[in-house]
Chains A and B, each alone.
Chain A
Amino acid sequence: MDLLQQYGPALLRGFGYTILCWALGTVFAMALGLVIALSRHYGPRWLGWILQIYIEVIRGTPFLVQLFVLYYGGPLIGLRLDALPAGLLGLTLYGSPYFAEIFRAGFRAVPLGQLEAARAIGMTEPAIVRRILLPLSMVSALPALVNFSIILTKETVILSIITVPELMYQVSRMSAETFRFVEANLVLALFFWGLVEAISRLGRRFESRVTKHLIERT
Chain B
Amino acid sequence: MQASAVEIQKVNKHFGPFHALKDVDLSIPPGRVTCLIGPSGSGKSTLLRCINFLEPYDSGEIRIDGRLMGYDAPGRKMGGRALREMRRSIGMVFQQFNLWPHMTARENVAEGLIRVRGMSRADAATRAAAALAKVGLADKMDNHPSRLSGGQQQRVAIARAIAMEPRLMLFDEPTSALDPELVGEVLSVMKTLASEGMTMVVVTHEMGFAAHVADRVAFMERGELVAADTPAAILHQPQDPRIQSFLRTYHERNSF
Contact = CB atoms under 8 A, between A and B. Distances in A.
A119 B111 CA distance: 12
Decide if the interface of chain A is mainly helix, strand, loop or mixed. Answer: helix
A121 B101 contact: no
Contacts of B96: 111, 113
B90 A131 contact: no
A135 interface: yes
Interface string B96-129: 1011111000000001100110000000000000
Contacts of A216: 146
Given A114-B98, A214-B102, 13 more contacts: A113-B96, A114-B99, A120-B52, A121-B87, A121-B88, A121-B92, A122-B85, A122-B87, A122-B164, A124-B80, A213-B144, A215-B146, A217-B147
B54 A123 contact: no
Interface of B: 52, 54, 80, 84-85, 87-88, 90-92, 94, 96, 98-102, 111-112, 115-116, 144-147, 157, 160-161, 164
Contact of B101 (A119, A124, A213): A213
B253 to A, nearest CB: 27
23 contacts: A111-B96, A113-B96, A114-B98, A117-B94, A117-B98, A117-B160, A119-B87, A120-B54, A120-B92, A121-B88, A121-B112, A121-B160, A122-B84, A122-B87, A122-B88, A123-B84, A123-B111, A123-B112, A124-B80, A125-B80, A213-B145, A214-B101, A216-B146
A33 to B, nearest CB: 22
A208 to B, nearest CB: 14
A127 B85 CA distance: 15
B19 to A, nearest CB: 23
Contacts of B91: 120-121
A195 interface: no
Interface string A126-154: 01000110011000000000000000000
A56 interface: no
The listed residue with most A CB atoms (<10 A of its CB), out of B102, B116, B144, is: B102
The B contact surface, by secondary structure, is mixed
Interface in A139-190: none
A191 to B, nearest CB: 36
Contact of B98 (A113, A122, A123, A213): A113
A120 B84 CA distance: 8
A213 B85 CA distance: 32
A118 B85 CA distance: 13
B67 to A, nearest CB: 15
A26 to B, nearest CB: 24
A116 interface: yes
Contacts of A119: 54, 87
| A-side interface size class | 20 to 34
Contacts of A118: 100, 111
B90 A120 contact: yes
Nearest to A121: B112
A134 B224 CA distance: 39
Contacts of B145: 213
A123 to B, nearest CB: 5
Nearest to B107: A131
Given A121-B164, A216-B146, A127 B102 contact: no
A136 B84 contact: no
B88 A116 contact: no
Contacts of B94: 113, 116-117
A42 to B, nearest CB: 12
Given A122-B112, A125-B80, A217-B147, A117 B101 contact: no
Q: Most B CB atoms within 10 A — which of A111, A118, A121, A135?
A: A121
B135 to A, nearest CB: 16
Nearest to B92: A120
Given A117-B98, A117-B100, A217 B92 contact: no
A192 B111 CA distance: 43
Contacts of A124: 80, 84, 115
A122 B116 contact: yes
Contacts of B99: 114, 117
Interface in A199-217: 213-217
Contact of A213 (B146, B157, B160): B146
Contacts of B157: 117
Given A113-B96, A123-B116, A213-B146, A135 B102 contact: yes
